[in-house]
Structure 1
Protein backbone atom coordinates (compact mmCIF):
# COMPACT_ATOMS: atom_id res chain seq x y z
CA UNK A 1 0.00 0.00 0.00
CA UNK A 2 1.35 3.44 -0.87
CA UNK A 3 2.38 6.04 1.68
CA UNK A 4 -0.45 8.45 0.84
CA UNK A 5 -3.09 5.79 1.46
CA UNK A 6 -1.54 4.94 4.84
CA UNK A 7 -1.42 8.58 5.89
CA UNK A 8 -5.05 8.98 4.82
CA UNK A 9 -5.96 5.92 6.89
CA UNK A 10 -4.28 7.28 10.02
CA UNK A 11 -5.96 10.67 9.56
CA UNK A 12 -9.38 9.08 9.09
CA UNK A 13 -9.07 6.98 12.24
CA UNK A 14 -7.71 9.91 14.25
CA UNK A 15 -10.56 12.15 13.05
CA UNK A 16 -13.13 9.43 13.75
CA UNK A 17 -11.78 8.90 17.26
CA UNK A 18 -11.91 12.65 17.93
CA UNK A 19 -15.52 12.83 16.74
CA UNK A 20 -16.52 9.80 18.82
CA UNK A 21 -14.94 11.53 21.82
CA UNK A 22 -17.26 14.51 21.36
CA UNK A 23 -20.44 12.52 22.11
CA UNK A 24 -20.50 13.16 25.85
CA UNK A 25 -19.78 16.85 25.29
CA UNK A 26 -22.77 17.29 22.97
CA UNK A 27 -24.99 15.49 25.48
CA UNK A 28 -23.76 17.47 28.48
CA UNK A 29 -24.35 20.74 26.62
CA UNK A 30 -27.87 19.58 25.70
CA UNK A 31 -28.53 18.75 29.36
CA UNK A 32 -27.92 22.41 30.23
CA UNK A 33 -31.20 23.16 28.43
CA UNK A 34 -33.14 19.96 29.15
CA UNK A 35 -31.95 17.25 31.57
CA UNK A 36 -33.75 14.46 29.75
CA UNK A 37 -31.74 11.44 28.66
CA UNK A 38 -34.51 9.81 26.62
CA UNK A 39 -35.25 13.03 24.72
CA UNK A 40 -31.70 13.69 23.51
CA UNK A 41 -31.28 9.99 22.71
CA UNK A 42 -34.46 10.03 20.62
CA UNK A 43 -33.39 13.09 18.66
CA UNK A 44 -29.93 11.58 18.16
CA UNK A 45 -31.64 8.63 16.50
CA UNK A 46 -33.92 10.88 14.43
CA UNK A 47 -30.85 12.41 12.80
CA UNK A 48 -28.87 9.17 12.48
CA UNK A 49 -31.61 6.78 11.34
CA UNK A 50 -32.07 8.07 7.75
CA UNK A 51 -28.36 7.67 7.06
CA UNK A 52 -28.21 4.10 8.30
CA UNK A 53 -31.37 3.16 6.38
CA UNK A 54 -29.81 4.64 3.24
CA UNK A 55 -26.56 2.74 3.78
CA UNK A 56 -28.46 -0.52 4.40
CA UNK A 57 -30.55 -0.03 1.26
CA UNK A 58 -27.41 0.71 -0.77
CA UNK A 59 -25.69 -2.44 0.52
CA UNK A 60 -28.70 -4.62 -0.32
CA UNK A 61 -28.92 -3.10 -3.81
CA UNK A 62 -25.19 -3.65 -4.33
CA UNK A 63 -25.54 -7.30 -3.37
CA UNK A 64 -28.35 -7.64 -5.89
CA UNK A 65 -26.30 -6.04 -8.68
CA UNK A 66 -23.29 -8.22 -7.94
CA UNK A 67 -25.36 -11.39 -7.69
CA UNK A 68 -24.36 -12.02 -4.07
CA UNK A 69 -26.77 -13.97 -1.85
CA UNK A 70 -29.03 -11.93 0.39
CA UNK A 71 -28.60 -12.31 4.15
CA UNK A 72 -30.59 -15.10 5.74
CA UNK A 73 -33.64 -14.11 7.76
CA UNK A 74 -31.98 -15.56 10.87
CA UNK A 75 -28.97 -13.28 10.32
CA UNK A 76 -31.16 -10.19 9.95
CA UNK A 77 -33.10 -11.07 13.10
CA UNK A 78 -29.82 -11.72 14.90
CA UNK A 79 -28.52 -8.30 13.89
CA UNK A 80 -31.74 -6.71 15.16
CA UNK A 81 -31.48 -8.51 18.51
CA UNK A 82 -27.83 -7.68 18.97
CA UNK A 83 -28.53 -4.06 18.03
CA UNK A 84 -31.07 -3.84 20.83
CA UNK A 85 -28.48 -5.11 23.32
CA UNK A 86 -25.43 -3.28 22.05
CA UNK A 87 -27.02 0.03 21.05
CA UNK A 88 -30.55 0.54 22.41
CA UNK A 89 -29.85 -0.75 25.93
CA UNK A 90 -26.27 0.52 26.00
CA UNK A 91 -27.31 4.01 24.88
CA UNK A 92 -30.11 4.35 27.42
CA UNK A 93 -27.78 3.33 30.25
CA UNK A 94 -25.00 5.61 28.99
CA UNK A 95 -27.16 8.70 28.39
CA UNK A 96 -28.88 8.29 31.77
CA UNK A 97 -25.54 7.84 33.49
CA UNK A 98 -24.35 11.14 32.02
CA UNK A 99 -27.04 12.89 34.05
CA UNK A 100 -25.06 12.04 37.19
CA UNK A 101 -21.37 11.88 36.29
CA UNK A 102 -18.88 14.11 34.49
CA UNK A 103 -18.05 13.58 30.85
CA UNK A 104 -14.56 12.51 31.97
CA UNK A 105 -15.74 9.76 34.32
CA UNK A 106 -18.32 8.58 31.76
CA UNK A 107 -15.73 8.19 29.04
CA UNK A 108 -13.27 6.37 31.27
CA UNK A 109 -15.97 3.99 32.53
CA UNK A 110 -17.21 3.32 29.00
CA UNK A 111 -13.65 2.84 27.77
CA UNK A 112 -13.26 -0.24 29.99
CA UNK A 113 -15.58 -2.34 27.82
CA UNK A 114 -12.67 -4.42 26.41
CA UNK A 115 -11.96 -5.56 29.98
CA UNK A 116 -15.57 -6.66 30.44
CA UNK A 117 -15.26 -8.41 27.10
CA UNK A 118 -12.39 -10.49 28.50
CA UNK A 119 -14.36 -11.76 31.50
CA UNK A 120 -17.68 -12.27 29.69
CA UNK A 121 -15.84 -14.04 26.90
CA UNK A 122 -14.13 -16.33 29.40
CA UNK A 123 -17.39 -17.07 31.23
CA UNK A 124 -19.69 -17.70 28.25
CA UNK A 125 -17.72 -17.85 24.99
CA UNK A 126 -14.81 -20.14 25.78
CA UNK A 127 -12.18 -17.40 25.72
CA UNK A 128 -9.07 -17.89 27.82
CA UNK A 129 -8.09 -15.61 30.69
CA UNK A 130 -4.39 -14.75 30.75
CA UNK A 131 -2.15 -13.10 33.30
CA UNK A 132 -1.73 -10.07 31.05
CA UNK A 133 -5.49 -9.58 30.66
CA UNK A 134 -5.96 -9.83 34.43
CA UNK A 135 -3.16 -7.29 34.93
CA UNK A 136 -4.80 -4.96 32.39
CA UNK A 137 -8.13 -5.30 34.20
CA UNK A 138 -6.56 -4.53 37.58
CA UNK A 139 -4.74 -1.44 36.26
CA UNK A 140 -7.82 -0.11 34.44
CA UNK A 141 -10.25 -0.52 37.30
CA UNK A 142 -7.75 0.85 39.79
CA UNK A 143 -7.61 3.99 37.65
CA UNK A 144 -11.41 4.14 37.40
CA UNK A 145 -11.63 3.80 41.18
CA UNK A 146 -9.23 6.74 41.64
CA UNK A 147 -11.40 9.02 39.48
CA UNK A 148 -14.59 7.68 41.06
CA UNK A 149 -13.40 8.39 44.62
CA UNK A 150 -12.32 11.89 43.60
CA UNK A 151 -15.73 12.66 42.02
CA UNK A 152 -17.68 10.91 44.79
CA UNK A 153 -16.57 13.51 47.32
CA UNK A 154 -18.49 16.14 45.34
CA UNK A 155 -21.42 14.13 43.96
CA UNK A 156 -22.06 11.35 46.49
CA UNK A 157 -24.65 8.71 45.66
CA UNK A 158 -25.44 10.33 42.28
CA UNK A 159 -21.90 9.56 41.16
CA UNK A 160 -22.34 5.93 42.26
CA UNK A 161 -25.60 5.61 40.33
CA UNK A 162 -24.16 7.25 37.21
CA UNK A 163 -21.02 5.12 37.27
CA UNK A 164 -23.02 1.90 37.65
CA UNK A 165 -25.25 2.90 34.72
CA UNK A 166 -22.29 3.68 32.44
CA UNK A 167 -20.53 0.46 33.44
CA UNK A 168 -23.77 -1.35 32.56
CA UNK A 169 -23.55 0.31 29.15
CA UNK A 170 -19.98 -0.94 28.79
CA UNK A 171 -21.13 -4.48 29.65
CA UNK A 172 -23.90 -4.27 27.02
CA UNK A 173 -21.44 -3.12 24.37
CA UNK A 174 -19.00 -5.89 25.30
CA UNK A 175 -21.77 -8.48 24.84
CA UNK A 176 -22.59 -6.87 21.50
CA UNK A 177 -18.97 -7.17 20.36
CA UNK A 178 -18.83 -10.84 21.31
CA UNK A 179 -22.11 -11.75 19.61
CA UNK A 180 -21.78 -9.59 16.50
CA UNK A 181 -18.78 -11.29 14.91
CA UNK A 182 -20.65 -14.24 13.37
CA UNK A 183 -23.25 -11.98 11.76
CA UNK A 184 -20.72 -9.43 10.49
CA UNK A 185 -18.95 -12.28 8.71
CA UNK A 186 -22.12 -13.17 6.82
CA UNK A 187 -23.64 -9.72 6.27
CA UNK A 188 -20.60 -7.44 6.06
CA UNK A 189 -19.89 -4.68 8.56
CA UNK A 190 -21.79 -1.91 6.74
CA UNK A 191 -25.05 -3.84 6.36
CA UNK A 192 -24.84 -5.33 9.85
CA UNK A 193 -24.23 -1.93 11.45
CA UNK A 194 -27.08 -0.40 9.45
CA UNK A 195 -29.54 -3.10 10.53
CA UNK A 196 -28.41 -3.09 14.17
CA UNK A 197 -28.47 0.69 14.53
CA UNK A 198 -31.73 1.08 12.61
CA UNK A 199 -33.36 -1.45 14.95
CA UNK A 200 -32.02 0.42 17.98
CA UNK A 201 -33.21 3.75 16.59
CA UNK A 202 -36.73 2.54 15.79
CA UNK A 203 -37.02 0.90 19.23
CA UNK A 204 -35.87 4.10 20.91
CA UNK A 205 -38.49 6.16 19.09
CA UNK A 206 -41.19 3.59 19.89
CA UNK A 207 -40.07 3.77 23.52
CA UNK A 208 -40.61 7.53 23.52
CA UNK A 209 -44.05 7.35 21.92
CA UNK A 210 -45.19 4.52 24.24
CA UNK A 211 -43.97 6.26 27.40
CA UNK A 212 -44.79 9.87 26.50
CA UNK A 213 -47.19 9.73 23.60
CA UNK A 214 -45.20 12.17 21.46
CA UNK A 215 -41.70 13.42 20.66
CA UNK A 216 -41.14 16.83 22.21
CA UNK A 217 -40.27 19.54 19.67
CA UNK A 218 -40.38 22.56 21.97
CA UNK A 219 -36.61 22.93 22.41
CA UNK A 220 -34.46 25.73 21.04
CA UNK A 221 -32.62 25.67 17.73
CA UNK A 222 -29.39 25.35 19.73
CA UNK A 223 -30.68 22.10 21.27
CA UNK A 224 -31.50 20.66 17.86
CA UNK A 225 -28.00 21.55 16.63
CA UNK A 226 -26.55 19.65 19.58
CA UNK A 227 -28.84 16.69 18.85
CA UNK A 228 -27.77 16.75 15.20
CA UNK A 229 -24.14 16.89 16.32
CA UNK A 230 -24.67 13.88 18.56
CA UNK A 231 -26.37 11.90 15.80
CA UNK A 232 -24.20 12.89 12.84
CA UNK A 233 -20.85 14.23 14.04
CA UNK A 234 -20.50 11.88 17.01
CA UNK A 235 -22.20 8.78 15.56
CA UNK A 236 -22.61 8.48 11.80
CA UNK A 237 -19.56 10.28 10.40
CA UNK A 238 -16.99 8.74 12.79
CA UNK A 239 -18.41 5.28 12.09
CA UNK A 240 -17.64 5.70 8.40
CA UNK A 241 -14.29 7.42 9.06
CA UNK A 242 -13.03 4.65 11.34
CA UNK A 243 -14.23 1.87 9.02
CA UNK A 244 -12.60 3.57 6.01
CA UNK A 245 -9.39 4.14 7.94
CA UNK A 246 -9.34 0.56 9.21
CA UNK A 247 -9.53 -0.65 5.62
CA UNK A 248 -6.26 1.18 4.93
CA UNK A 249 -4.20 0.62 8.10
CA UNK A 250 -5.74 -2.51 9.64
CA UNK A 251 -7.51 -3.29 12.90
CA UNK A 252 -4.35 -3.29 15.03
CA UNK A 253 -3.30 0.27 14.21
CA UNK A 254 -6.92 1.41 14.45
CA UNK A 255 -7.21 -0.01 17.98
CA UNK A 256 -4.03 1.73 19.10
CA UNK A 257 -5.05 5.13 17.68
CA UNK A 258 -8.52 4.80 19.24
CA UNK A 259 -6.89 4.64 22.68
CA UNK A 260 -6.50 8.44 22.57
CA UNK A 261 -10.28 8.91 22.54
CA UNK A 262 -10.68 9.30 26.33
CA UNK A 263 -7.90 11.88 26.38
CA UNK A 264 -9.74 13.93 23.77
CA UNK A 265 -13.00 13.68 25.72
CA UNK A 266 -11.22 14.92 28.83
CA UNK A 267 -9.70 17.83 26.91
CA UNK A 268 -13.11 18.80 25.51
CA UNK A 269 -14.73 18.43 28.94
CA UNK A 270 -12.20 20.74 30.57
CA UNK A 271 -12.11 23.27 27.73
CA UNK A 272 -15.82 23.41 26.87
CA UNK A 273 -17.65 22.24 30.00
CA UNK A 274 -15.14 23.68 32.48
CA UNK A 275 -14.94 20.39 34.37
CA UNK A 276 -12.16 20.08 36.93
CA UNK A 277 -9.07 18.08 36.07
CA UNK A 278 -7.14 17.36 39.25
CA UNK A 279 -4.16 15.17 40.10
CA UNK A 280 -6.44 12.17 40.91
CA UNK A 281 -8.07 12.63 37.49
CA UNK A 282 -4.65 12.60 35.83
CA UNK A 283 -3.53 9.49 37.74
CA UNK A 284 -6.81 7.67 37.12
CA UNK A 285 -6.85 8.54 33.43
CA UNK A 286 -3.26 7.35 33.00
CA UNK A 287 -4.11 4.03 34.67
CA UNK A 288 -7.31 3.41 32.69
CA UNK A 289 -5.77 4.31 29.33
CA UNK A 290 -2.60 2.45 30.23
CA UNK A 291 -4.48 -0.70 31.27
CA UNK A 292 -6.69 -0.83 28.17
CA UNK A 293 -3.75 0.18 25.98
CA UNK A 294 -1.64 -2.62 27.45
CA UNK A 295 -4.42 -5.13 26.81
CA UNK A 296 -4.78 -3.86 23.21
CA UNK A 297 -1.05 -4.05 22.62
CA UNK A 298 -0.87 -7.62 23.97
CA UNK A 299 -3.96 -8.67 22.02
CA UNK A 300 -2.79 -7.39 18.64
CA UNK A 301 0.64 -8.90 19.22
CA UNK A 302 -0.75 -12.44 19.47
CA UNK A 303 0.18 -14.75 16.60
CA UNK A 304 -2.69 -15.38 14.18
CA UNK A 305 -4.01 -18.94 14.32
CA UNK A 306 -4.44 -20.49 10.91
CA UNK A 307 -6.66 -23.43 10.19
CA UNK A 308 -5.12 -26.60 8.89
Structure 2
Protein backbone atom coordinates (compact mmCIF):
# COMPACT_ATOMS: atom_id res chain seq x y z
CA UNK A 1 0.00 0.00 0.00
CA UNK A 2 2.84 2.34 0.90
CA UNK A 3 4.65 1.44 -2.34
CA UNK A 4 1.46 2.21 -4.28
CA UNK A 5 1.25 5.66 -2.65
CA UNK A 6 4.91 6.27 -3.53
CA UNK A 7 4.30 5.33 -7.17
CA UNK A 8 1.31 7.69 -7.34
CA UNK A 9 3.46 10.48 -5.86
CA UNK A 10 6.03 10.09 -8.67
CA UNK A 11 3.29 10.02 -11.33
CA UNK A 12 1.78 13.21 -9.89
CA UNK A 13 5.23 14.85 -9.79
CA UNK A 14 5.65 14.28 -13.55
CA UNK A 15 2.07 15.45 -14.18
CA UNK A 16 2.71 18.60 -12.15
CA UNK A 17 5.77 19.41 -14.25
CA UNK A 18 3.71 19.00 -17.44
CA UNK A 19 0.93 21.26 -16.14
CA UNK A 20 3.39 23.95 -15.04
CA UNK A 21 5.16 23.71 -18.40
CA UNK A 22 1.93 24.53 -20.23
CA UNK A 23 1.08 27.26 -17.70
CA UNK A 24 3.74 29.55 -19.23
CA UNK A 25 1.83 29.45 -22.51
CA UNK A 26 -1.52 30.24 -20.84
CA UNK A 27 0.07 32.98 -18.73
CA UNK A 28 1.33 34.70 -21.88
CA UNK A 29 -2.18 34.56 -23.33
CA UNK A 30 -3.82 35.86 -20.12
CA UNK A 31 -1.37 38.77 -19.77
CA UNK A 32 -2.39 39.89 -23.24
CA UNK A 33 -5.83 40.74 -21.82
CA UNK A 34 -5.14 41.77 -18.20
CA UNK A 35 -2.37 43.05 -15.94
CA UNK A 36 -0.34 40.72 -13.70
CA UNK A 37 -2.28 41.40 -10.48
CA UNK A 38 -5.68 41.11 -12.17
CA UNK A 39 -4.59 37.84 -13.76
CA UNK A 40 -3.50 36.50 -10.36
CA UNK A 41 -6.81 37.60 -8.83
CA UNK A 42 -8.94 35.76 -11.40
CA UNK A 43 -6.56 32.80 -11.30
CA UNK A 44 -7.02 32.26 -7.57
CA UNK A 45 -10.70 33.19 -7.73
CA UNK A 46 -11.21 30.25 -10.08
CA UNK A 47 -9.21 27.85 -7.90
CA UNK A 48 -10.86 28.90 -4.63
CA UNK A 49 -14.42 28.91 -5.99
CA UNK A 50 -14.04 25.52 -7.67
CA UNK A 51 -12.69 23.91 -4.50
CA UNK A 52 -15.39 25.62 -2.41
CA UNK A 53 -18.07 23.55 -4.19
CA UNK A 54 -17.07 20.11 -2.81
CA UNK A 55 -16.25 21.70 0.55
CA UNK A 56 -19.71 23.33 0.76
CA UNK A 57 -21.47 20.05 -0.09
CA UNK A 58 -19.37 18.13 2.40
CA UNK A 59 -17.73 15.96 -0.25
CA UNK A 60 -14.35 17.17 1.00
CA UNK A 61 -13.97 17.41 4.77
CA UNK A 62 -12.13 20.47 6.05
CA UNK A 63 -11.31 21.08 9.72
CA UNK A 64 -8.69 23.40 11.19
CA UNK A 65 -9.65 23.02 14.86
CA UNK A 66 -6.70 22.30 17.12
CA UNK A 67 -4.21 22.45 14.26
CA UNK A 68 -1.17 24.76 13.85
CA UNK A 69 -2.91 27.49 11.83
CA UNK A 70 -0.03 29.95 12.26
CA UNK A 71 2.33 27.58 10.44
CA UNK A 72 -0.27 27.12 7.69
CA UNK A 73 -0.55 30.91 7.32
CA UNK A 74 3.24 31.11 7.13
CA UNK A 75 3.08 28.47 4.40
CA UNK A 76 0.57 30.55 2.40
CA UNK A 77 2.78 33.62 2.80
CA UNK A 78 5.54 31.73 1.00
CA UNK A 79 3.31 30.21 -1.66
CA UNK A 80 1.24 31.54 -3.32
CA UNK A 81 1.66 35.07 -1.88
CA UNK A 82 5.44 35.38 -1.68
CA UNK A 83 6.23 33.36 -4.77
CA UNK A 84 3.87 35.11 -7.19
CA UNK A 85 4.36 38.61 -5.77
CA UNK A 86 8.14 38.32 -6.03
CA UNK A 87 7.81 36.81 -9.50
CA UNK A 88 5.56 39.60 -10.81
CA UNK A 89 7.76 42.42 -9.56
CA UNK A 90 10.95 40.53 -10.40
CA UNK A 91 9.92 40.18 -14.04
CA UNK A 92 9.31 43.92 -14.19
CA UNK A 93 13.05 44.42 -13.66
CA UNK A 94 14.41 41.32 -15.41
CA UNK A 95 13.67 39.15 -18.45
CA UNK A 96 11.64 35.95 -18.50
CA UNK A 97 14.82 34.12 -19.59
CA UNK A 98 16.59 35.32 -16.44
CA UNK A 99 13.58 34.13 -14.47
CA UNK A 100 13.84 30.70 -16.10
CA UNK A 101 17.55 30.41 -15.34
CA UNK A 102 17.14 31.42 -11.69
CA UNK A 103 14.04 29.23 -11.16
CA UNK A 104 16.14 26.24 -12.25
CA UNK A 105 18.14 26.60 -9.04
CA UNK A 106 15.05 25.90 -6.89
CA UNK A 107 15.99 22.21 -6.35
CA UNK A 108 19.42 23.25 -5.04
CA UNK A 109 17.91 25.79 -2.63
CA UNK A 110 15.30 23.23 -1.54
CA UNK A 111 17.97 20.62 -0.91
CA UNK A 112 19.90 23.04 1.33
CA UNK A 113 16.85 24.23 3.30
CA UNK A 114 15.48 20.68 3.65
CA UNK A 115 18.81 19.47 5.02
CA UNK A 116 18.77 22.24 7.64
CA UNK A 117 15.13 22.14 8.80
CA UNK A 118 13.99 18.60 7.96
CA UNK A 119 17.39 16.92 8.35
CA UNK A 120 16.93 15.36 4.91
CA UNK A 121 20.11 13.80 3.62
CA UNK A 122 21.20 13.27 0.02
CA UNK A 123 24.12 11.25 -1.25
CA UNK A 124 26.94 12.76 -3.30
CA UNK A 125 25.53 11.11 -6.44
CA UNK A 126 22.09 12.57 -5.73
CA UNK A 127 23.59 16.03 -5.30
CA UNK A 128 25.43 15.63 -8.62
CA UNK A 129 22.18 14.57 -10.33
CA UNK A 130 20.34 17.60 -8.95
CA UNK A 131 23.07 19.88 -10.30
CA UNK A 132 22.92 17.97 -13.61
CA UNK A 133 19.22 18.80 -14.00
CA UNK A 134 19.92 22.45 -13.13
CA UNK A 135 22.78 22.54 -15.65
CA UNK A 136 20.41 21.14 -18.31
CA UNK A 137 18.02 24.07 -17.88
CA UNK A 138 20.80 26.67 -17.75
CA UNK A 139 22.44 25.08 -20.82
CA UNK A 140 19.24 25.51 -22.86
CA UNK A 141 18.83 29.17 -21.91
CA UNK A 142 22.51 30.02 -22.44
CA UNK A 143 22.59 28.33 -25.85
CA UNK A 144 19.53 30.39 -26.79
CA UNK A 145 21.68 33.45 -26.14
CA UNK A 146 20.17 34.24 -22.76
CA UNK A 147 22.26 35.25 -19.76
CA UNK A 148 21.97 37.02 -16.43
CA UNK A 149 22.51 40.76 -16.74
CA UNK A 150 23.94 42.00 -13.44
CA UNK A 151 22.62 45.51 -14.21
CA UNK A 152 19.15 44.04 -13.50
CA UNK A 153 20.20 43.32 -9.92
CA UNK A 154 16.82 44.26 -8.41
CA UNK A 155 14.99 41.82 -10.65
CA UNK A 156 17.63 39.12 -10.15
CA UNK A 157 17.38 39.36 -6.36
CA UNK A 158 13.57 39.25 -6.44
CA UNK A 159 13.54 36.26 -8.80
CA UNK A 160 16.09 34.42 -6.68
CA UNK A 161 13.85 35.06 -3.67
CA UNK A 162 11.09 33.18 -5.55
CA UNK A 163 13.38 30.12 -5.36
CA UNK A 164 13.68 30.58 -1.60
CA UNK A 165 9.91 31.11 -1.24
CA UNK A 166 9.08 27.93 -3.17
CA UNK A 167 11.78 25.96 -1.37
CA UNK A 168 10.43 27.21 1.96
CA UNK A 169 6.93 26.14 0.94
CA UNK A 170 8.14 22.66 -0.03
CA UNK A 171 9.94 22.16 3.28
CA UNK A 172 7.20 23.57 5.51
CA UNK A 173 4.41 21.77 3.60
CA UNK A 174 6.17 18.45 4.14
CA UNK A 175 6.25 19.02 7.90
CA UNK A 176 2.59 20.18 7.96
CA UNK A 177 1.34 16.98 6.27
CA UNK A 178 1.48 15.45 9.74
CA UNK A 179 -1.27 17.82 10.91
CA UNK A 180 -3.29 18.74 7.79
CA UNK A 181 -4.69 16.78 4.88
CA UNK A 182 -3.57 17.88 1.38
CA UNK A 183 -7.09 19.31 0.83
CA UNK A 184 -6.97 21.39 4.04
CA UNK A 185 -3.60 22.91 3.19
CA UNK A 186 -4.60 23.58 -0.43
CA UNK A 187 -7.96 25.18 0.44
CA UNK A 188 -6.32 27.55 2.91
CA UNK A 189 -3.63 28.49 0.40
CA UNK A 190 -6.12 29.14 -2.42
CA UNK A 191 -8.41 31.17 -0.15
CA UNK A 192 -5.61 33.38 1.17
CA UNK A 193 -4.22 33.84 -2.34
CA UNK A 194 -7.62 34.89 -3.72
CA UNK A 195 -8.43 37.29 -0.87
CA UNK A 196 -5.01 38.95 -0.87
CA UNK A 197 -4.66 39.46 -4.61
CA UNK A 198 -8.29 40.65 -4.84
CA UNK A 199 -7.70 43.35 -2.22
CA UNK A 200 -4.43 44.47 -3.84
CA UNK A 201 -5.92 44.53 -7.33
CA UNK A 202 -9.12 46.39 -6.34
CA UNK A 203 -7.14 48.90 -4.27
CA UNK A 204 -4.98 49.66 -7.29
CA UNK A 205 -7.98 50.11 -9.60
CA UNK A 206 -9.85 52.32 -7.12
CA UNK A 207 -6.83 54.57 -6.57
CA UNK A 208 -6.27 54.87 -10.32
CA UNK A 209 -9.97 55.26 -11.18
CA UNK A 210 -9.91 52.23 -13.48
CA UNK A 211 -12.50 49.94 -11.90
CA UNK A 212 -14.08 49.40 -15.30
CA UNK A 213 -10.88 47.74 -16.47
CA UNK A 214 -11.06 45.10 -13.74
CA UNK A 215 -13.96 43.16 -15.27
CA UNK A 216 -13.11 43.90 -18.91
CA UNK A 217 -10.94 40.77 -19.45
CA UNK A 218 -13.93 38.55 -18.59
CA UNK A 219 -15.51 39.54 -21.92
CA UNK A 220 -12.81 37.55 -23.67
CA UNK A 221 -13.41 33.81 -23.93
CA UNK A 222 -9.68 33.30 -24.45
CA UNK A 223 -8.87 35.03 -21.16
CA UNK A 224 -11.56 33.10 -19.26
CA UNK A 225 -10.22 29.79 -20.63
CA UNK A 226 -6.66 30.79 -19.71
CA UNK A 227 -7.73 31.90 -16.21
CA UNK A 228 -9.56 28.61 -15.67
CA UNK A 229 -6.51 26.61 -16.72
CA UNK A 230 -4.19 28.69 -14.54
CA UNK A 231 -6.59 28.67 -11.58
CA UNK A 232 -8.10 25.19 -11.61
CA UNK A 233 -5.38 23.11 -13.27
CA UNK A 234 -2.11 25.02 -12.73
CA UNK A 235 -2.94 26.23 -9.21
CA UNK A 236 -5.53 24.00 -7.53
CA UNK A 237 -4.64 20.64 -9.05
CA UNK A 238 -0.88 21.18 -8.76
CA UNK A 239 -1.19 22.40 -5.17
CA UNK A 240 -3.30 19.39 -4.16
CA UNK A 241 -0.85 17.11 -5.95
CA UNK A 242 2.22 18.82 -4.46
CA UNK A 243 0.86 18.56 -0.93
CA UNK A 244 0.15 14.85 -1.52
CA UNK A 245 3.61 14.29 -3.02
CA UNK A 246 5.29 15.99 -0.06
CA UNK A 247 3.47 13.62 2.28
CA UNK A 248 5.14 10.69 0.50
CA UNK A 249 8.62 11.76 -0.65
CA UNK A 250 11.32 14.15 0.50
CA UNK A 251 11.14 17.83 -0.47
CA UNK A 252 14.58 17.69 -2.09
CA UNK A 253 13.52 14.77 -4.30
CA UNK A 254 10.25 16.40 -5.34
CA UNK A 255 11.76 19.77 -6.20
CA UNK A 256 13.98 18.40 -8.96
CA UNK A 257 10.87 17.42 -10.96
CA UNK A 258 10.16 21.14 -11.43
CA UNK A 259 12.91 21.31 -14.06
CA UNK A 260 10.91 18.93 -16.27
CA UNK A 261 8.52 21.85 -16.86
CA UNK A 262 11.22 23.45 -19.02
CA UNK A 263 10.99 20.51 -21.44
CA UNK A 264 7.19 20.73 -21.54
CA UNK A 265 7.27 24.49 -22.16
CA UNK A 266 9.69 23.91 -25.06
CA UNK A 267 7.34 21.30 -26.53
CA UNK A 268 4.32 23.57 -26.05
CA UNK A 269 6.14 26.43 -27.77
CA UNK A 270 7.05 24.19 -30.71
CA UNK A 271 3.55 22.73 -31.10
CA UNK A 272 1.40 25.81 -30.54
CA UNK A 273 3.70 28.74 -31.32
CA UNK A 274 5.85 27.20 -34.04
CA UNK A 275 9.07 27.74 -32.10
CA UNK A 276 12.15 25.88 -33.34
CA UNK A 277 13.60 22.87 -31.50
CA UNK A 278 17.36 22.57 -31.99
CA UNK A 279 20.11 20.12 -31.04
CA UNK A 280 20.94 21.98 -27.81
CA UNK A 281 17.28 21.70 -26.74
CA UNK A 282 17.56 17.90 -27.04
CA UNK A 283 20.89 17.83 -25.18
CA UNK A 284 19.59 20.05 -22.38
CA UNK A 285 16.39 18.01 -22.11
CA UNK A 286 18.40 14.76 -21.87
CA UNK A 287 20.49 16.26 -19.05
CA UNK A 288 17.35 17.36 -17.17
CA UNK A 289 15.69 13.94 -17.48
CA UNK A 290 18.90 12.12 -16.47
CA UNK A 291 19.22 14.39 -13.44
CA UNK A 292 15.62 13.81 -12.33
CA UNK A 293 15.80 10.02 -12.74
CA UNK A 294 19.22 9.82 -11.09
CA UNK A 295 18.19 11.93 -8.09
CA UNK A 296 15.19 9.71 -7.32
CA UNK A 297 16.50 6.26 -8.29
CA UNK A 298 19.75 6.73 -6.38
CA UNK A 299 17.70 7.56 -3.29
CA UNK A 300 15.32 4.63 -3.64
CA UNK A 301 17.42 2.08 -1.76
CA UNK A 302 17.86 4.41 1.19
CA UNK A 303 14.14 5.28 1.21
CA UNK A 304 13.18 1.61 0.98
CA UNK A 305 15.06 0.85 4.17
CA UNK A 306 13.05 3.33 6.22
CA UNK A 307 9.53 1.73 6.08
CA UNK A 308 10.83 -1.42 7.79
CA UNK A 309 11.08 0.46 11.07
CA UNK A 310 7.80 2.33 10.72
CA UNK A 311 5.40 -0.49 11.70
CA UNK A 312 7.42 -1.08 14.88
CA UNK A 313 7.06 2.55 15.97
CA UNK A 314 3.35 2.48 15.18
CA UNK A 315 2.75 -0.76 17.07
CA UNK A 316 4.67 0.63 20.02
CA UNK A 317 2.30 3.55 20.17
CA UNK A 318 -0.70 1.29 19.98
Normalised-by-shorter TM-score class:
0.7 to 0.9
Unaligned runs of 5+ in 2: 314-318
1:201 equivalent in alignment to 2:188: no
Partner of 1:19: 19
Pairwise mapping of residues 191-270 of structure 1 onto structure 2 (< 5 A)? 191-213=184-206, 214=211, 216-219=214-217, 220-239=220-239, 261-270=261-270
Greater Cα shift, 109-118 or 167-176 = 109-118
Alignment CA distance shift 1:165-1:22 (3 Å) = farther
Alignment CA distance shift 1:234-1:121 (3 Å) = closer
Distance (Å, rounded) in 1 between the aligned partners of 2:81 and 2:216: 24
Partner of 2:131: 138
Q: Say whether the 8 Å CA contact 2:182–2:240 is kept in structure 1.
A: no
Partner of 1:48: 47
Greater Cα shift, 22-31 or 279-288 = 279-288
Q: Say whether the 8 Å CA contact 1:116–1:170 is kept in structure 2.
A: yes
Distance (Å, rounded) in 1 between the aligned partners of 2:43 and 2:28: 13
Q: 164, 168, 181: which one pairs with 2:174?
A: 181
Q: Say whether the 8 Å CA contact 2:134–2:288 is kept in structure 1.
A: yes
Partner of 1:67: none
- The TM-score, its normalising length taken from structure 1, stands at 0.73
Greater Cα shift, 183-192 or 284-293 = 284-293
Alignment CA distance shift 1:210-1:273 (3 Å) = same
Distance (Å, rounded) in 1 between the aligned partners of 2:296 and 2:223: 37
Partner of 1:72: 66
**Per-residue deviation, residues 51-78 of structure 1 (Å, max 9, x unmatched):** 33445556798478xxxxx5325x1222
1:281 equivalent in alignment to 2:276: no
Partner of 2:96: 101
Distance (Å, rounded) in 2 between the aligned partners of 1:186 and 1:119: 24
Partner of 2:31: 31
- What is the Cα-based RMSD across aligned positions, in Å? 4.2
Alignment CA distance shift 1:187-1:298 (3 Å) = same
Q: Say whether the 8 Å CA contact 2:6–2:249 is kept in structure 1.
A: no
Unaligned runs of 5+ in 1: 65-69
Distance (Å, rounded) in 2 between the aligned partners of 1:290 and 1:123: 26
Cα displacement (A) at 1:217: 1.7
